[in-house]
Amino acid sequence: MHIFPQLRKLEEKYAQELVVVGVHSAKFPNEKDADNVLRAAQRYELKHPIVNDTEFEVWRQYACRAWPTLMFVDPAGKVIGKHEGELPFDDFDALLGQMIAEFDAKGMIDRRDLHLKPDALEDETLAFPGKVLADGPGNRLFIADTNHNRIIISDLDGAVQAVVGSSAEDFIDGAYGSAAFNHPQGMELVGNIVYVADTENHAIRTIDLSRQTVSTIAGTGEQGMDRRAIGPGAQVALSSPWDLTHHQGQLYIAMAGIHQLWRLSLADGVVQPHAGTGAESIENGPLATATLAQPSGITVGNDLLYFADSETSSIRSAGLDPVIGRVATLVGIDLFAFGDRDGVEHHVRLQHPIGIEWHEGELFLADTYNHKIKRLLTLTRSVQTVLGSGATGLHDGTGQHATFSEPSGLSFARFDGDRPDLLYVADTNNHAVRVADLQANRVWTLELTGL
């Protein structure tokens, strides 16, 4: 998914010379469903045709071994290049430029329009909301309206108070109405500042709720691949930051693009890696030598960081101390062990979890591709489904009779015993925010008013 923004830019730059054909050879069962493939194409705003290669036939014909694999095919249909893994935009651009110049000189490029018509997304109030952040004492809810490139601020009942961001896909600081994001995801509230993981801008932004302004505190706007970078936030390139959590002056970042956790000091603005080598795997051990796989959700509790390690379908922990801290795995086994099975420790199977939230000594998980919300007890490492039947849908109701569609973000509104805490869910593919009262075992859909 991290290559999609680069492809979009290249398709725009070389609109008459480049044809992209996506071949979707799914790792996870949920990704093989044609409707889910369509929703994913809409979420990532893909305009090119996609082949749903459910049986890996095309994968085998092209001898692919890794996601993503780029195959370069000349105008005569001959494979002239292959690249496994991500490719920085500048390198990608230079390579295509050389190929286009070569075949243009031979008169082989056909610039006629293809007249492609992508499946349009219906106009929705929200568009693939990725994360939510609930503030019980302040009666506020922050919604990352991801594909509308904005943050919506409402009260906990859905009455909209403010919209942050112009909805333009851009990288602009300034007042609420003129600032711009690019597919924002996770948020964290510290005092009167909301920190935002501005994922496709590869940046950490701040929303000053008093001044009603947006600023940038980390990231250059370009994707970084340096897994050992350290320095002032504004000078260090980040890579698809997906979620945030705060503890004692440190903002911890789930850096999905390079399979690491990072930390940003709010005191001096220095950003640096915290856990993971950058290799994609599931090795435990000291922070500096452990390996992660697309961490996409992060929370803090019990003096530990807990994170949803999405590509290994696992829930893991990382110590806070940068010297003696270690990474451990609570549930999950490896990159290719996934499913939908409650239980204890190694018997548990999840499918690409993206959201995680600590609440009163327990972890709550958005088991995204299983369309469920689950509870994990950290002492026993036992997992139990609490919400969702596992079917894809938008049905309110009690507990496991309710349905979701790829829920990706969780946040509790805490009321300090005055009333039951409420769990807010970014129900991403339903373009909705759901609310759950776990004491009453009831789920309903939040109605946003005033937009």
The rounded distance, in Å, linking the Cα atoms of 41 and 409 is: 20
Provide the token pair at 413.
């509104």
Task: Supply the range of the domain harboring residue 323.
Answer: 131-445
Do 402 and 443 contact (CB within 8 A), yes or no? Answer: yes
pLDDT at 85: 82
Mean pLDDT on 157-172: 98
**pTM for the whole thing?**
0.92
Residue that terminates a domain, selected from 105, 140, 172? 105
Residue that terminates a domain, selected from 105, 121, 140? 105
The rounded distance, in Å, linking the Cα atoms of 256 and 238 is: 10
Residue 31's SS3 state is helix
CATH number, domain of 334, equals 2.120.10.30
Same domain, residue pair 154 and 99: no
pLDDT at 323: 96
The alpha-helical segments, DSSP class H, found in 44-174 are 57-61, 89-105
User: Would 297 be classed as within a structural domain?
Assistant: yes
The rounded distance, in Å, linking the Cα atoms of 261 and 273 is: 6
Provide the token pair at 23.
């071949």
CA 372 to chain centre: 17
Question: Tell me: the pLDDT tens digits for 248-276?
Answer: 999 999 999 999 999 999 999 999 999 99
Provide the token pair at 18.
């480049």
pLDDT bin (cut points 50, 70, 90) of residue 397 is very high
**How confident is the prediction for the chain on average, in pLDDT?**
95
Same domain, residue pair 88 and 209: no
User: Would 117 be classed as within a structural domain?
Assistant: no
The rounded distance, in Å, linking the Cα atoms of 105 and 260 is: 44
Q: Is the pLDDT of residue 56 over 80?
A: yes
pLDDT at 101: 93
User: Would 35 be classed as within a structural domain?
Assistant: yes
Same domain, residue pair 35 and 181: no
